[in-house]
Each structure stands twice: as C-alpha cells, then as structure tokens.
Structure 1
Amino acid sequence: MRKGLLLYNPVAGRFPVRRFVRDIIKPLEHAGWSIDIAETLSGTHAVQTAHQAAHEKFDAVFAIGGDGTVGQVASGLVHTGTALGVIPAGTVNVWAIEQGQKPFTWLQPGNLRESATMIANVEPQYVDVGDCNGQPFLLWAGVGLDAHTINKIEPRPRIFKHFAFPHYFVKTVWEATFWHGLDLHIYAEGELVKGHYLVAVATNIRHYAGGQSLISPNALLDDGEMDLWLLSGNNVADALRHYFDLVAGRHLTSDQARCIPFKNVVIESEANFSIQVDGDPMLGGHKAEIKTLHRALKVLMPENALYLLKTPQN
C-alpha cells in the first residue's frame, strides 16, 4: 500500500479548509493509499515537514493550499523519491489550474475530492525545478515590480484574499507610481544583456499574473530550461501597458518585452531589489542567481495534463 501525507495550510485561501480535509481521505484510500494528515505552521515548517516525509519514505505529500504552499512543499521534496501531489485550496492556484484542477471553495467543497481523485492513481512524472539564490521554486522567480509589490502585501489577512486580484492590481499600480524600475545586468547562456526594466521574471510554467496571462505558451515542465521575460519601462503607464499586453498575448510580439530561454541566469543591479518565488516574498539583494534543476522533482499530475511534458512517463 502506498503511503501519503495530506499537508494542509490552515491560513491558505479565501476559505479555511481544515474542516474539509478529511473528505479527501476516502478517494485516496479507494485508490490504495494509506493517509496521514499534518498541518503547516509556517512556510519553513511546510518545507521541513515535506522533507521529513521524504526521509520517512512516504510515496507522496499532497499539498493542500495555494501556489505558495505548493512551492514550499516542492522545496522539501527536491531530489527525493517522494512525489508532490497538489490539491488546490489557495488564493492563487496557477499550477493546479494549468493542469485542469478546480480550486476549493465553500460553495464547491467537492473540488477537493475531485482534485484528489484526478491524481490518486497516476504514474509519477518528473519535472524541472528552479533555484533562486539557493531557494527552490516550482513556478516563477522574479525581480522588479511584481516582487516589489508582493513584498509589500504578503502575508495578507484573509479578508484581503476575497479581493485578491483587485487588491494586488491596485497595489501594483500604486507602487508603480513611485517605483521606476531597475537598471539590470543579465548574464544568460554566455550573453550579457543590459537594460532598464520594470519586471524580470523567470517562469517554469505557461501562465503568470494569477493565471490571467499565458506568458510562455509553449513552456514544458521537463525540458531542462526556463524562460526569462524582461519587461522594459519606468512608469505606471508602462506597467499598465505590460499588464494588458500580457493578458491579450501581445507581449509575444512587443518590442518592449523580451524572452530569453535559459538553463542558468544571473541578474545583477547596483540598486537593492526585492525577489519573489512562487508568488511569495524572499530575501532580496543586488544579485539573483537562477538555475534550472532538470527533472529534480517527482510529481503526480492529472493524465489530461501530460501535454505539459516533453517526455511523459507511461
């Protein structure tokens, strides 16, 4: 019998998930899983608990929360034999939505069971993971306006999570009124790029901006490289233009946006900058060194999401 840990974040999302967690056990047990349950106390605790589960030879840790929780659990499972399973219940659930899962709400608590069923009996896959200054990430790592805003608003009270996108959008516009971008030196694959940018974001997945933007429509999770998007500009008008271009897909042909595929990249600035990983703030500085860890994480993915892989396991 396979052994799994349900690891849930009690403060994730718009709606507390604690009372519904046990509903997930039955579909997993029907698929042959023996299930334990644990609650995260912090982001660091989520990483440590996942790592301990891997040490105890659990077959999978099912992360119940948003993208931040998913990234934290993934951090604890990198280069182990324990798989990550995702059951979305957060404010932002881009990883899961990209793979066809529906997030939990109090009006749709059955989405938890449905998400669990979708990954209960699938063949484990292997995906790339990013590393930013020693911090693993699964979705994105970025510097610039998005990281600056995230560092201002996170962690936020649950009341603001009910208005997550409007809150983030208004705060970003407000910050862009006073914050005017960064002069960056970017070293990628033997090339030096210099410029003034509002955003520099590395993405491992196809979606960005809370899932509203298909930023890298051809990204694959296991191809050994990521995309670095550079968005130029220095004012709020540029920030708004980039947002609408990203949502409409116009960034793909814009001369104000540039994509650099990379395995390893270094971003430097004389000015101190904020950093975000998987939508959560991390310690900033003058340098961000981002590496692609090829097929470093074992994951449970819905069968209808295998198109996101270059070489799916059968």
Structure 2
Amino acid sequence: MSKRRALFVVNNKSGGANEEAVRKAADEILKPLGVECHFFVRRKKGMSRRKATRRAIEEGFDLVVAAGGDGTVSRVADELQGSGVRLGVVPTGTANLIARSLRLPLDIAKAMRLIADPPRTVTIDGMHVPETGKTYFSHISMGVYSRIAKMETEAQKKAMGRGVYLWNLFKELRHKNSWEFKIQVDGETSKVRSSLVILANIGDAGIADMQWGKQIRIDDGHLDLCIVSGRTVGEYGRLAWHSLRGRPEDDPAIDYLPVHQSIRIETSGDVPVRADGKLIGEGSVEVEVRRGAVEVMTSSA
C-alpha cells in the first residue's frame, strides 16, 4: 500500500465517544502500514469539524475519517463534496444510521481494519438545502419526528441510547397532532394531511431495528419521501410492527413518493425542520438531490 495521509475528525462528545480507542486502533492498525495519521478532536462546542476537513483538503490529505456519530459524518461528508478526497467512517455515535446503511462495522478496531485494507468505495447521495448552504445525508423531517428533536438532551442520549427516540416519540404522540403540507416534487404539487413527512436518504429509522422502507438506499440516485398519516400511539405501533417485519409499506398509514431532482415542503403550522438530527428551520424546506455526492470507503468484498 502506498503511503497515505489520513485526518481523523473525532467528536469527543458523541454518544459512544472513545478518543483513546480510536487513537489506539489507528496506532496499531494503520501506522504499521505507513499511513500517516493526524487528529482533530472536537472537545467542546465551537471547534469546527468543517474547518478541519477543509484544511485537510487544502493540504492534500488522501483520506478524512469521521470518528463520531451521524452529525460528524454528515459535516465531514458535506465538506468533502467535489474534492476527490475519500471519506472513512469510524462510528462512535448513538444511532450511527449512515454507517448502518452502508453495513460498516460498528466496532472501532474492525472499522479501522476496513480503512487499512485496499477497500472498495461507494458514492453516496446527499440532500442539499439551499437555505442553509449545507448537504445532509440521512433524513430531513417535519412533524412529530422533528418535534422530538426539541426534547432530546445529550444526557438522555448517553443514558438511554437509541431508546431516547422511542420515549420522546411516545410523549409527542399523546397530542395526536397532524398538519396540512403542501408538497412540490420534481415540479408536481400536491397537498396531504400528515403527522409526519420525512425525506429519507437511508431506510434505517433510528429506533430499534425499524425501517422507513426497504427500498430506500443511500446510493440509488434518488430520495424517498415518506408520508405518515397515522396520529395515535396505536397507529404508530402498528406501523412499527410492520416495519420490524421488514414491510412498512404494508401499513395503510404510510405512503411514498420518489424524489429525483428537488422537493419543497411547507405548512402553515409552527413545525420545525430537522435535518440529520439538527433543527435547521421552521415551516418549510427546499431540498435538491445531490447524486453521488461523496465517495465512501466500504468493505473490500
């Protein structure tokens, strides 16, 4: 293997953060192969993972490895677009949705060995929001799923892991809310009443082993809009049952629309917009499909 330079962008505040284990695995697995490892560690708010990634591109690094949760992976991936620099992932977050969608190892040492091997790569799609100037890679949602983002705390996520999403969802569903959404997909406009609309780039819902749809892939060149009409705990419980069986599309409370170019979603209610776990706006969102946005290292098979 020719000598490579790798920057590890480490989020020391992620749900499963383990900076020591990441450094140890890099020392034991990558350095003996001649990989020159550098580290940027986000120890507190204000330390920019984006700036560190841009600096690595400017300095000619061969690889940037996101060691953290979905937020870290998304930020690094967004900056790598169009650079020709590959993305590696060492998942140490709470949900690790992007890593799961690519079937990457969740164990730190195993993820590091994948980076060490001559890997195959896959180009993943992105969801670009012109209003923020940023690209997101898992889900953009409006409705009950976005509202629970206001309830989450870092302490909850560390104590309950992925279970925090279920707990907060249960509390939100007690209100039985729904909203009228105006949706424009690839130039076609429609109106729906729904408790949740979620633009999915990956199928994993982030709750237990539930999926938004088995047809949803991060590398298929389009996005999938999931429209959930159910409002009650019982209706969501039924959807969860279908989802756990691997067939959420069988539930009458969910419909799908493929998005190939762009989508605009708006409602008159004070409904937050959540993108990759972060609140980015309220009431409306416009999204452009970014096909093959970033090249990610996956298994060598």
In the superposition, the TM-score normalised over structure 1's length comes to 0.85
Does the 8 Å contact 1:49/1:76 carry over to 2?
Answer: no
One of 160, 163, 168 as aligned partner of 1:163: 160
Q: 1:257 to 1:43 in 2, by over 3 A?
A: farther
Q: 1:79 to 1:43 in 2, by over 3 A?
A: farther
In structure 2, the partner of 1:66 is 69
How far apart are 1:129 and its partner, in Å? Answer: 1.1
Amino acid at match of 1:4: A
Q: 1:20 to 1:297 in 2, by over 3 A?
A: same
Determine the C-alpha separation between the residues in 2 that align with 1:274 and 1:91: 22
How far apart are 1:236 and its partner, in Å? Answer: 3.4
Does the 8 Å contact 2:165/2:207 carry over to 1?
Answer: no
Does the 8 Å contact 2:9/2:40 carry over to 1?
Answer: yes
One of 68, 75, 79 as aligned partner of 2:78: 75
Does the 8 Å contact 2:57/2:85 carry over to 1?
Answer: yes
How far apart are 1:44 and its partner, in Å? Answer: 7.0
In the superposition, the TM-score normalised over structure 2's length comes to 0.89
2:110 aligned counterpart, secondary structure: helix
1:141 aligned counterpart, secondary structure: strand
In structure 1, the partner of 2:113 is 117
Determine the C-alpha separation between the residues in 2 that align with 1:11 and 1:51: 21
Show structure 1 runs of 4+ deviating over 6 A. Answer: none
In structure 2, the partner of 1:96 is 99
In structure 2, the partner of 1:108 is none
Deviations 1:59-97 (A, max 9, x none): 111111111221122122222222111001111112223
Determine the C-alpha separation between the residues in 1 that align with 2:232 and 2:195: 8
Q: Does residue 35 in structure 1 map to residue 31 in structure 2? A: no
How far apart are 1:205 and its partner, in Å? Answer: 1.9
Determine the C-alpha separation between the residues in 1 that align with 2:137 and 2:47: 16
Q: Does residue 84 in structure 1 map to residue 80 in structure 2? A: no
Q: 1:226 to 1:177 in 2, by over 3 A?
A: same
Number of residue pairs matched? Answer: 293
In structure 1, the partner of 2:48 is 45
- % identical equivalent positions: 23
Q: 1:211 to 1:192 in 2, by over 3 A?
A: farther
Alignment of 1:1-314 (within 5 A): 1-14=3-16, 16-25=17-26, 26-40=28-42, 41-42=44-45, 45-103=48-106, 111-120=107-116, 121-132=118-129, 133=131, 134-153=133-152, 155-157=153-155, 160-178=157-175, 180-210=177-207, 212-263=209-260, 264-278=262-276, 280-304=277-301
Amino acid at match of 1:101: L
- Structure 2 unaligned residues grouped into runs of 5+: none
* Greater Cα shift, 221-230 or 34-43: 34-43
Question: For the aligned residues, what is the CA RMSD?
Answer: 2.1
Determine the C-alpha separation between the residues in 2 that align with 1:253 and 1:299: 32
Does the 8 Å contact 1:131/1:290 carry over to 2?
Answer: yes
Amino acid at match of 2:93: G
How far apart are 1:43 and its partner, in Å? Answer: 7.7
2:169 aligned counterpart, secondary structure: helix
1:271 aligned counterpart, secondary structure: coil
Does the 8 Å contact 2:213/2:247 carry over to 1?
Answer: no
